[in-house]
Amino acid sequence: MRKYKLMKRILKGDSNFKDIISNNGYFVDKTLLIKEFVDNGDKVVILPRPRRFGKTLNLSMIEHFFDVRKPDSVGLFSEYKISEDKAFCEQHQNRYPVVNITLKNVKGRNWEECFQEMIQSISDLYNNHRFLLESDKLEEFDKNVIVKIIRQEATETNYRHSLKNLSKYLTTHFGQKTIVLVDEYDAPIIAGYSSGYYDEVFMFMQGFLGNAFKGNDALEKGLITGILRIARESLFSEFNNPGVYTITSRYFSEHFGFTEPETKMALNYFGLQDSFEKVKYWYDGYQFGDTKQIYNPWSIVNYIANHSDGFRPYWVNTGSDPLIKKRITEPGVDQTYDDLQKLISGEALKKTIDENFVFSDLEGNKRLLWTLLTFSGYLTPVEKIDYETYMLRVPNFEIKTIFKNIIINWLEDENKVQKELLELTTQHLINNRIPQFEKGFRRIIGDTFSYFDTRGMAENVYQAYFLGMLAIIGDDYIIRSNRESGDGRYDILLIPHDKTKYGIVIEIKQVPKRSPKEKEADFHKRINTALKKASDQIEQNEYYKELLAHNIKNIIKLPVVFAGKEPFVVPVSIPT
């Protein structure tokens, strides 16, 4: 009787390697990470990657490959690449005791709550190794400490040394040095910084990790994952020169996230190959080291599992990122919003990335926002300028939506501009109802600029706020600014995805506001002159050529003149 191979399933949210393979789950083959980890010359390897990019699953995979207590795991790897290296598997597979702890849920409103979560995690870890209580190679004193930790009755010193001591107990029992894996090491530290107990959690983590990874004779090799690289001179000062491989490093670059071939293979397997171009548009765009076209794995998995619901932003709803929210919403961030609006319009920004992240610098160093955004997965480096300067851009449409919402919420919450007014005004614009657009635009600008002194404001500032308003239609339009088209640079260009819609080219001019002594007729003449100058500039320089190149036949050529806080879009009548 012919046997049919069951089709693999998508098992969302399961980060246990054995559970996925044993339950016929679809697994994107990352097993060569195991060999690169062993072959790497660093005793301790630190791999910062964005959340939901496969860190926990990869550590589970490594645990099942090496763990001497899991000899049945050999079969889990039989159809994956690592099994082809027979000599490597013979030498290393299931040859070591392994400690694997995740700290992703170790957080709290204060240090007491956070420490209780830490105690619980360490207790669970020790409970998984309670067989050591039956070992004839451990001293009774050591067994008493194990019991106290399992019962959550140990001292803080016991917990601080618990990772090192567990590796020591395992090495004593098995006669083989221990591999130590720590997942999301920075989760408690980020929570501590955000909630005001940074000093307490930092001191504990410095001892907890430092004891395990520096001068530990029981350590065979260590692997630590997180989101940020906390500066070596602070947290990692206790380590012996760990190897830190961030998203800018070419080492380990293809092992977190899905490469394009891996994504195509998954889509083909589930019969979704026809959706590849839209998948690419929504979820592609990351670059780690020299590996390009990395797809967000969480979003790909969720799309495959829920493809009948269409495309949606999955990853942006999986974490709060309190550090980023705090930095973006603090006062005095006009330049930040200008930059965010440029990112939404598809531009790349030249920024410094500080890989030696120090939390104490966050308050005074606004440029660290770009490091946070990059390491957290909201931006991706696309070009290296020098050792610390990169061109950064939004990787894909999914991430673009979150920046768009940040700006919309800022306009709505901070500047009291109602979302309904934003939506109605932009609809007037894209449907060529220019007088109605001007009326709504005046209300929006009046509300927004009432918070700012417009003296000395350059045209690019007005342009930035114009872009902010247009973010609300980012789903239907490609929004670009300051690009070459025709014989010059337009200010703003809106390219519709639907070629039957209006394409829009916008030229912005700034004139002095009306002084008390200036006659109304003279002021209106100045406005009309500036509007004509902007309109002529559009025509003479053919700023609309890019729209024609996209086969857009309906084009709105829109001059906009700002006189202080007052915008003008259509010519005004001149009193006689």
Asked whether the predicted pLDDT for residue 171 surpasses 50, the reply is yes
Residues composing the chain: 576
Report the chain's terminal Cα–Cα distance, integer Å: 98
Distance CA 417, CA 445 (A): 9
**Which tokens belong to 540?**
């003479």
- Compute the distance between CA of residue 355 and CA of residue 199 in angstroms, rounded to an integer: 21
**More confident call, 294 vs 573:** 294
- Of residues 336 and 140, more confidence is placed in 140
**What pLDDT is stored for residue 150 in this prediction?**
98
Q: Is the pLDDT of residue 302 over 60?
A: yes
Q: What per-residue confidence (pLDDT) applies to 453?
A: 42
Closest listed residue to residue 64, CA positions, set 17, 29, 3, 21: 17
- pLDDT tens for each residue of 2-60: 445 688 999 988 899 999 999 999 999 999 999 999 999 999 999 999 999 999 999 99
* pLDDT tops 70 at residue 447: no
- Supply the pTM of this predicted model: 0.82
pLDDT tens digits for range 455-502: 444 555 666 667 667 777 766 787 777 654 444 556 788 889 899 999
Arithmetic mean of pLDDT over the chain:
86
Q: For residue 452, is pLDDT > 50?
A: no
- Does residue 445 surpass a pLDDT of 60? yes
Would you state the pLDDT for residue 433? 94
Q: Which comes out higher in pLDDT, residue 475 or 564?
A: 564
The answer to whether residue 574 scores a pLDDT higher than 60 is yes
Q: What pLDDT is stored for residue 401 in this prediction?
A: 82
What does residue 5 show for φ and ψ, rounded to 5 degrees? -80, 125
Q: Who has greater pLDDT, 461 or 283?
A: 283
More confident residue, 536 or 354: 536
The residues near 185 (Cβ < 8 Å, ≥ 6 apart) are 103, 205, 209, 224, 225, 226
CA pair distance 184, 139, nearest whole angstrom = 32
Highest mean pLDDT: which of 186-190, 316-320, 367-371, 460-464? 186-190
Residue 356: its pLDDT value, please?
Answer: 75
**In the predicted structure, residue 333 carries a pLDDT above the cut 90:** no
Average pLDDT of span 129-138: 96
366's tokens: 């606004």
Give the mean pLDDT of 231-250. Answer: 75
Q: State the number of CA atoms in the 13 A half-sphere of 431 facing the CB.
A: 9
Dihedral sign of CA atoms 20, 26, 32, 37 in order: negative
Q: What percent of the chain has pLDDT over 70?
A: 84
Please write the tens of the pLDDT for every residue from 378-436: 999 999 998 889 999 999 999 988 777 776 766 666 555 677 888 888 899 999 999 99
